[in-house]
Amino acid sequence: MVDNLLANRADFRSSRFRLHRWALQQFVVINHTNHTSRGTSIMATHDLRRHLDEAALAIATEAQQLVGSTDAERRLPDSMFRSIATSGLFRQLVPPQLGGPDRSPLEWFRCGMALATFDSSLAWVVTQGASELGWMTVGGDPSWAADVLEDPLAASASTVAGLGTALIDGDDAVLTGRWGFDTGCQGATWIGGLTLMVDPKASSEELDLRICWVPADRATIIDDWDTLGLRGTGSHSIAIDAQRLSAAWTVNPSAPTSNEYGPHRVIVGNGNWPINFSVAAVQLGTARRALDLVRPMLESKSGHVSGIRLIERGWVQQRLTALEGLWMAAAASAERELESMWAQAVATGELSSNQRVRNATAASTANTLAVQVVDGVCELAGASISSAASPIGRCLRDVQTLRGHVSTCNEVMELCTAKAHGLAEFPWLV
């Protein structure tokens, strides 16, 4: 009798487990079907595109339609650069004292994520370009900044992938250099790169590193950007041959500015957060695009053996929800640090060492997790990503191309730990 009771109890537990599992699967499938019919996901409505105004939305839609040609041409069209510039997207981080829109870094970050849900190349050109125009106007000579911004098409393309030299001669210097990875150089009005300032009369041995710019027509674009992903960014190498430049056309990225621009002062000389979070925005937006692309595929595709729709499989449901969780955690962490950073900037006009470490850590981690999300989406999508025209395959190529960026690579995480423990100072990168 006892044996029968135990057997019945085991059968009941097994049946109850199967019932619970079946009910949970039905809930997930029904919930998924009800929500996706309205264009949303199981977890929440990650509708990043609400952060785009009408002009930005039109530019993003056009970029999405032109991905084939921009990949082939390895650049955005001139007309799109003009639209980006005149819409104010490049001026998002320009301080209001210089005519900027008074946007917070969080608003700029969300705009970058939203653009990447359409096209990663567009998002990288815009977020990077806005960062650069921000720091050259915040950290540069005010009269030069005014001259730069007087041009409605003002855009900067500078890079740290290389090191030029500028031989100081009185109030001017003679700049020579060659650099790689100069994103958006075809549409820029000012082009430059990281430069060692050399003063023959100086007695100090301390290195003087600055970003130096010249008008775009005084630089040479070297057509060598032929990559797996982010092809539309046009991140070619550039060369500047013995060009005379004004000392005003330089910014020290490590030094806080003396210009009084309120909280916007922290755009320069307070770590490399504008580029850190440019990477994070594009990677997270691309990962969001991949997640949204795989859902209808999982709804329509069935297993070859079982014949069951993939979205009804337990392992697919678990994996998809886990990927959503990774994305949500990465985005929330990045946004929290941007909010914290801006509150500190408003209060003090500078960032603490701890906040700078947190910025770099959050952005670098967002980069890592976004890549993991896209890898996981590709696992769910299976062989369908093998086509060169696969939209999910394009997401994979884009995030893999950007994942090793110098501002969010493994070395930056190492520098964060060193700085946090007082082992070393890295005033520019962290």
* Same-domain check for residues 115 and 221: no
Alpha carbon 410 to chain centroid, angstroms? 16
* Same-domain check for residues 73 and 208: no
* Same-domain check for residues 67 and 166: no
* Same-domain check for residues 233 and 289: no
Name the pLDDT band for 241 (thresholds 50, 70, 90): very high
User: In this prediction, what percent of the chain has a pLDDT beyond 90?
Assistant: 76
Residue 234: domain span: 158-251
Taking only the tens place, the pLDDT of each residue in 183-240 is: 999 999 999 999 999 998 887 778 899 999 999 999 999 999 999 999 999 999 999 9
* Same-domain check for residues 142 and 225: no
* Same-domain check for residues 273 and 387: yes
| Number of domains the chain is built from | 3
* Same-domain check for residues 223 and 327: no
Q: What is the mean pLDDT of the chain?
A: 89
Note whether residue 38 is domain-resident. Answer: no
Answer with the one of 222, 251, 280 that is the final residue of a domain.
Answer: 251
Q: Are the C-beta atoms of residues 197 and 245 closer than 8 Å to each other?
A: no
Angle at 273 between CA 269 and CA 275, to 5 degrees: 110
Answer with the one of 190, 223, 251 that is the final residue of a domain.
Answer: 251
Q: Check whether 105 has a pLDDT greater than 80.
A: yes
Note whether residue 375 is domain-resident. Answer: yes
Grouping H, G, I as helix, E, B as strand and the rest as coil, residue 215 is strand
CA distance 392 to 394: 5
Which DSSP category does 155 fall into?
-
Written as six digits, the tokens of 244 are 């005379």
Note whether residue 94 is domain-resident. Answer: yes
Tell me which residue of 159, 155, 220, 235 sits closest to 193, measured CA to CA: 159
Answer with the one of 251, 285, 312 that is the final residue of a domain.
Answer: 251
Q: What is the mean pLDDT of residues 89-110?
A: 97
Tell me which residue of 266, 379, 324, 412 sits closest to 41, measured CA to CA: 324
Angle at 230 between CA 228 and CA 235, to 5 degrees: 105
Note whether residue 53 is domain-resident. Answer: yes
* Same-domain check for residues 351 and 396: yes
* Same-domain check for residues 306 and 379: yes
Taking only the tens place, the pLDDT of each residue in 48-73 is: 888 999 999 999 999 999 999 999 99
Tell me which residue of 376, 258, 240, 282 sits closest to 320, measured CA to CA: 376
* Same-domain check for residues 131 and 222: no
* Same-domain check for residues 406 and 273: yes
* Same-domain check for residues 106 and 172: no
Taking only the tens place, the pLDDT of each residue in 300-320 is: 988 878 889 999 999 999 999
Whole-model pTM: value is 0.89
